[in-house]
Amino acid sequence: ETPLLRGDQEKRVQRAPVCCSARYGLAVLSSFGFFVVYSLRVNLSVAMVDMLNTTNSHTSSNHTGSVCPAHSNPPRPIRNHTASVYNWDSETQGWILGSFFYGYILTQIPGGYLAGRLGPKWLLGFGILGTVLFTLLTPVAADWGAGYLIAVRVIEGIGEGVTFPAMYTMWAAWAPPLERSRLLTISYIGAQLGTVIALPLSGEICFYLDWTYVFYLFGAVGLVWFVLWAALVFNSPNDHPRISEQERLYIISSLKNELSTSTDHIPWKSIVTSVPLWAIVVAHFSYNWTFYTLLTLLPTYMKDVLGFSIKQNGMLSALPYIGCAILAVLSGQLADYLREKRNCPTVRVRKAFSLVGMIGPAIFLVAAGYTGCNYILAVSFLTISSSLGGVSASGFNINHLDIAPSYAGILLGITNTFATIPGMVGPVIARSLTANNTMEEWQTVFYIAAAINLFGATFYAAFGQGSVQPWAVRTVFNHGD
């Protein structure tokens, strides 16, 4: 096969239809998978409110005083629940809520390696299935004791840790380069939707049923996803029995020069010394510092500073994630349009979208600290901050596939390992800085997050790359395609 023939072939098959295609079917099913993953990740934080025995605690149901005047909420009738409650102190609660990340960080790099060796379909499928099964066991583990619940959450984290690296490995074989931004943003919008829907819905489930049903119902949804994934998804276009020949040729020919022929040899030295990879690491770490700070502490800020109980306003807590999901999908469409129609270099697109998706949130996060008691303006700025973060989904977030598609799962495992650290330490540091819950203390927290974001954006703009690195391609052609 000559380069000329290959170019002609790409032109001949480049218009493989989107409707009913296997690659967009994969995007939708993987989006459903990430919906499951994130709904299982965040539902415990809501259920925890009902799991605690408040009758013996010193916590008052009244507002305990905030910087700004409290905003009244309409009273809801008291409902009788039969589920167990527990006498866990705040330290135990912290360990239970944080234990997920200690499992999650362990399987990032192994997940990327195993996905390349064993195939991503079943690694991702069984990883999420394991999380689903242990979610269903959560009420039993809680009855046995806090230690058992912590162990269950660590195991859930281990199961979920393989999902992102495995999915990147899957997309390395399925996503044509000029459709990467579109396909991946559709895929990962499920993570935002899982957060948006699970937070308020978990509260309603706790209210109308009891907290155990949070785990049973979301677990059941996860089982449905696994059945669909097992039946409909395949590791590569060549393995798919129902893909059209036009689409198969389109995907295979578009990736012809990008994939290594061998997964047996992994150039570890070249990977860990790759400056473009470290640019993604720094950007991913920096972005997640702000993301996890908002994810975990926004309710606290609303309640203790703005005098606003976010627990009774599920839609308000979901606004940042709705905005983030919408801008992520729109930015994916725009990024691929610029690369395909405007011939804009990939590296320029990735850097521009990263700068907007990191500097924008930094500016509005700092601005939110200076809104005083104007809670509408504060919520608006925090929502804009999170929403603009969605633009980075078409920036550094999928750059792994640009620089080394054959090893994208391993690269994602490396960057996500570092990017999990802010989830473990960022909120702890932020909480220690806000002991008195003053406006000035929270301004400090926002400044730190913004400064880290700015540094990450600058570093990525300086050292990020958009083309396949020489060490990522061992030979030009894939034999047998």
Per-residue pLDDT at 61: 39
Per-residue pLDDT at 174: 93
Region class of 20: left (phi > 0), else alpha (psi between -120 and 50), else beta: left
With tokens 């579109």, the residue in question is: 182
Looking at domain 264-481, what is its CATH homologous superfamily? MFS general substrate transporter like domains (1.20.1250.20)
How far apart CA 34 and CA 195 sit, in angstroms, is 10
Residue 262, judged by CB atoms within 10 A of its CB (0-12, 13-18, 19+), counts as: exposed
Q: Where are the alpha helices (DSSP H) in 398-438?
A: 399-403, 408-433
Per-residue pLDDT at 152: 95
pLDDT in tens, 214-265: 999 999 999 999 999 999 999 999 999 999 999 999 999 988 877 664 556 8
Per-residue pLDDT at 7: 42
With 50 as the cut, is the pLDDT of residue 58 above it?
no
With cut-offs at 50, 70 and 90, classify the pLDDT of residue 59: very low
270, two tokens? 């070249």
pLDDT in tens, 394-409: 999 999 999 999 899 9
DSSP letter at 86 equals B
Per-residue pLDDT at 4: 38
235, two tokens? 């590791």
Output the pTM of the full model. Answer: 0.82
What are the residues facing 135 on neighbouring strands?
Answer: none
CATH class, domain 1-57+90-256, is mainly alpha
- Report the share of the chain in percent with pLDDT over 70: 86
Give the residue range(s) of CATH 1.20.1250.20 domains in the chain.
Answer: 1-57+90-256, 264-481
With 90 as the cut, is the pLDDT of residue 338 above it?
yes
With tokens 């807590």, the residue in question is: 317
